[in-house]
Amino acid sequence: MRISLYLCSNPAIPCPGIPIGDVLKPSFSSSFGRTCWFRAIRARLSWEIGLPQLILLVFVSQFVPHVLKGGKHVFDRFAVIITVAIVWLYAFLLTVGGAYNHAAPKTQSTCRTDRSGLIEAAPWIRVPYPFQWGAPSFDAGEAFAMMMASFVALVESSGAFIAVYRYASATPMPPSILSRGIGWQGVGILLSGLWGTGNGSSVSVENAGLLALTRVGSRRVVQISAGFMIFFSILGKFGAVFASIPPPIVAALYCLFFAYVGAGGLSFLQFCNLNSFRTKFVLGFSIFLGLSIPQYFNEYTAIYGYGPVHTGARWFNDIINVPFQSKAFVAGVVAYFLDNTLHKDPTIRKDRGKHWWDKYRSFKGDTRSEEFYSLPFNLNKYFPSV
């Protein structure tokens, strides 16, 4: 981030939100470099739920606030809750009305709100604790594979961090703040391993899009949301109720969330000189490879059940296959390499947009940094920013 920002971040941020191939099957980037094809495919199989959710969400969030002036902020900030509740009720009526009694098994598993035993099997109260699945085991190969997955998550998280500060109307993020966020993400991955979760923690790209939709970037909101998540994770029945939301509803939400994230990345083009052929080459080539290479790796894995790199060492396969399944990682690495190795002269600096970044290389470079990035409870004393 100290070497290059705007031109390198342009391909890395929008790629998770840009589909390639069949427009009915957009691939969404998720934690640790994997792509969530299944949500989009489920939406395709269940257009009677996914399409109404998407249309209603766009209508309530984009059109209604301009028609009902008095309730502008209500519909802006609660569009997701309002539309999910309406379409969830609609899906429930379809379920009890027998609309899916003779449907295909895949359609029933994705559209029905009474998926078999989901709520009944969940315990009322369950408190997770460290090493709940037994003593930890260590394997050097798997550790290296997870290190690579964590590195991919670092790249994707950096793009999400940049998109968040953009939509939160904050000043550009100093490198020390980004490093602090990545460090705490590493602590989260460590805690995930201690508690025996199936995956590590990463920045939620869709939540960056949700911030853009609601226009709420308050830290207090995140803290309260974290409290709710902890509460519902202990009360299993409540968590199971939310898990019964049909996946097509979630896929429809992703269509809007990832659109915001993609647009947030493209908005950084205003700081670059788009008349420069060097800028056009770096931008176009990195985005093209960032979309096509992960597409090949994901389709190969979907067809054969393993990635293009298939040796006897599974850990080595993961080290190679996982990074190339991430659009943000491929696009960001290619853009970073080209932007810092191609010929540079004094005029290229402005073409890359670096002169906009100079003021924010230090935490004290802007007086507003303290307002946006200081830690609560005087924690800056123990985690200083430079």
Phi, psi of 347 (to 5 degrees): -75, -20
Q: Give percent of the chain with pLDDT exceeding 70.
A: 87
Residue range 226-264, pLDDT digits in tens: 888 888 888 888 888 888 888 899 989 998 998 898 888
Res 18: pLDDT:
58
Token pair, residue 50, equals 């996914």
- What is the average pLDDT across 184-194? 87
Residue range 290-346, pLDDT digits in tens: 999 999 999 999 999 889 999 888 888 988 998 999 888 899 889 889 988 887 777
Closest CA to 158 of 187, 178, 184: 178
pLDDT at 177 over 60: yes
Token pair, residue 322, equals 């996982």
Tell me the DSSP string of 341-372. Answer: HS---HHHHHHHTGGGTGGGSSGGGSTTHHHH
CA 235 centroid distance within chain: 26
Residue range 53-79, pLDDT digits in tens: 999 999 999 898 888 776 667 888 899
How long a stretch of residues is the chain? 386
Res 345: pLDDT:
78
Q: Give the model's confidence band at 28: pLDDT under 50 very low, under 70 low, under 90 confident, else very high.
A: very low
Res 285: pLDDT:
94
Q: Which residues pair with 209 in a beta bridge?
A: none
Contact 42, 321 (CB under 8 A): no
Token pair, residue 45, equals 């199989």
**Where do runs of H (alpha helix) occur along 200-307?**
205-214, 219-234, 236-243, 247-266, 277-304
Res 36: pLDDT:
42
Contact 339, 7 (CB under 8 A): yes
Res 88: pLDDT:
92
- What is the average pLDDT across 154-183? 86
pLDDT at 168 over 80: yes
Q: Which residues pair with 35 in a beta bridge?
A: 29
